[in-house]
Amino acid sequence: MFNKLSLKIGMLFFVFILIIEILVYFILYTTIANERIEEVMDSLLARANTHSAILENNFNSSTMEHVAIMESESEYAVIITDEDGNVLINSDPIEKEMLDIIEHTDYEEIPSGGKVLEQRWTERQYIAADSPININGDHHGHVIMFANTNIVKNMVNHLSDQFVWIGITTVILTIITVFFLSRFITIPLMKMKQATEQLSKGKTKVSLHTDRKDELGELASTIMKLSNDLERLKKDRNEFLASVSHELRTPLTYIKGYADIINKQDISIHERKEYLDIIREETNQLTVLIRNLFELAKMDENRFIINRRKVELRKLIQTVEELIRPGLEERNIRFSVICPENIIANIDPERIQQVLLNILDNAIKHTSPGETISIRVIQNEMEIKITIEDEGEGIPKEDLPYLFDRLYRVEKSRSRESGGTGLGLAIAKEIIESHEGRIEIQSKIGKGTSVNIFLKR
């Protein structure tokens, strides 16, 4: 239960709080203790002053006796002396320390309000206060009050006991608070750790509480998002593998089927040649498919290098036009190019040529004789826009979002005439995005399709 982090956080909190508590209690303790001691000293002096006031009014032996008898019953002791410090009367037996004080006092120095003579309560047995007896301005004697320092010591000890109890209670409360506080932080962290461990062991769906509004809540949300992404990725990968194996199986079935027929003895040379052509064509398509898949795999692994160069777009389009000219003429499709001469792009010309060929190949395949395919290039301060437009059959609205998906074809049957692998646009998108550009397709059934490529200048 006490995993490492909660222990660390707990100890850290605990030490900090303990230091603060010790500091606060120390200050509080010394202040209170000093105040109490001061109070005792003051009350001792006040008592001496009361006695001297009485004696100033009646300075005779019977009053002195009264005072002495009174103090003999109290926890204090009083000694009354003459003006030179000779003892006149004492309430309790005079101890050596009392005598010391009496003998070592300079009686001329005592102010009329009295004075504390001894206040070292930790070292001495008595603390003492002196109040002079002044009658009509003449100095007649002294009232010296003694208090056993045990009074002060007991009081301070009592205070210390109270502080020890308060201290123990606070430490226990601190430990409990710190325990819950550190668990409040570490329990969600432990849950997240378990969740990520499960994810790394292959579980795709984990559930965490994401309703906290702090960093831990955000972390939990991020892990949940990660787990959803992982699940989607796995689903995508399985679908993709299923499509790939389907794409490979279809031509292989053809090839095996026709090879079996050729093996039979009773077919004509003409038929044999026709079937061999089909086998060759299927093999070619398989090669293209595998090459494209390999290229996409390289792109996914980022092993795909873009060699940028300053290229004049008009020249690039001319090269492309020469390459597709036979196809255009064969199908009697018109071709128009609008491209200003001075447009220079910083691109990998081979890759962009591959993209344009892919898109034009699509356009030619879906355009009827007599219709037009056009390329337009324009640029502004930010980007260059290449539009490839055809007047062909168009693409159904529901297929538009999936055109850039791998192996996605609008006409699902893999007819040998159209012969596409469904990878052309996926590759085009990867290439354009690795140029930090973007590609979009708009299409209307019966009206035609237009592909826009945006490249940063």
Ligand X SMILES: Nc1ncnc2c1ncn2[C@@H]1O[C@H](COP(=O)(O)OP(=O)(O)OP(=O)(O)O)[C@@H](O)[C@H]1O
Residues that bind Mg ion (CB under 5 A): 362, 424
In this complex, which beta carbon is closest to ligand X, that of residue 246 or of residue 309?
Answer: 246
**Three-state DSSP class for residue 139:** strand
- Residue 448: DSSP 8-state: E
**Alpha helices per DSSP H over 301-436:** 313-331, 349-365, 424-434
Burial pattern 179-215, b for ≥16 Cβ within 10 A else e, equals beebbeebebeebbeebeeebeeeeeebebebeeeee
Q: Does 363 bind ligand X (CB under 6 A)?
A: yes
Q: Please identify, using beta-carbon distances, which residue of 205 and 397 lies nearer to ligand X.
A: 397
Cβ(71)–Cβ(93) below 8 Å: no
Which among 57, 44, 55 has a CA at the least distance from the CA of 114? 44
Binding residue for ligand X, selected from 141, 188, 422, 437, defined by CB under 6 A: 422
> Is residue 424 involved in binding ligand X (CB under 6 A)?
yes
Question: Shortest Cβ distance from residue 234 to ligand X (Å)?
Answer: 24
Options 358, 375, 386, 431; binder of ligand X; rule CB under 6 A: 358
Member of 343, 410, 432, 453 binding ligand X (CB under 6 A): 410
**Contact assessment for residue 63 and residue 52, using Cβ atoms and an 8 Å cutoff:** no
Q: Select the residue interacting with ligand X from 395, 439, 453, 455 (CB under 6 A).
A: 395
362 binds ligand X (CB under 6 A): yes
Q: Which of 403, 431, 432, 439 binds ligand X (CB under 6 A)?
A: 403
Residue 366 touches which of ligand X, Mg ion, none (Cβ within 5-8 Å per kind): ligand X
Closest to 114 measured CA to CA, from 86, 134, 94: 134
133 binds, among ligand X, Mg ion, none (CB under 5 to 8 A by kind): none
Encoded amino acid at 368, one letter = S
Within 285-314, the residues that bind ligand X by CB under 6 A are: 292
Q: Which does 393 bind (CB under 5 to 8 A by kind): ligand X, Mg ion, none?
A: ligand X
Amino acid at 179: F
Give the binding range for ligand X (CB under 6 A) out of 15-23, 125-133, 357-365, 376-384.
357-365
- Give the nearest distance from C-beta 317 to Mg ion in angstroms: 18
- With contact defined as beta carbons under 8 Å apart, do 9 and 185 qualify? yes
Which does residue 47 bind out of ligand X, Mg ion, none, counting CB within 5 to 8 angstroms by kind?
none
Closer residue to ligand X in complex, CB, 105/358: 358
Window 108 to 127, contacts with ligand X (CB under 6 A): none
Q: How many residues bind ligand X (CB under 6 A)?
A: 22
* Minimum distance from residue 189 beta carbon to ligand X (Å): 46
Those residues with Cβ within 8 angstroms of residue 71's Cβ, 6 or more apart along the chain or in another chain: 77, 78, 91, 92, 145
Binds ligand X (CB under 6 A): choice among 6, 91, 186, 449: 449
Q: Is the Cβ–Cβ distance between 6 and 186 less than 8 Å?
A: yes
Number of H helices, E strands in the chain: 9, 12
Gyration radius (Cα) of the chain, Å? 52
Residue 423 binds ligand X, judged by CB under 6 A = yes
Task: Point out which residues bind ligand X (CB under 6 A).
Answer: 292, 358, 362-363, 366, 390, 392-393, 395, 403, 408-411, 420-426, 449
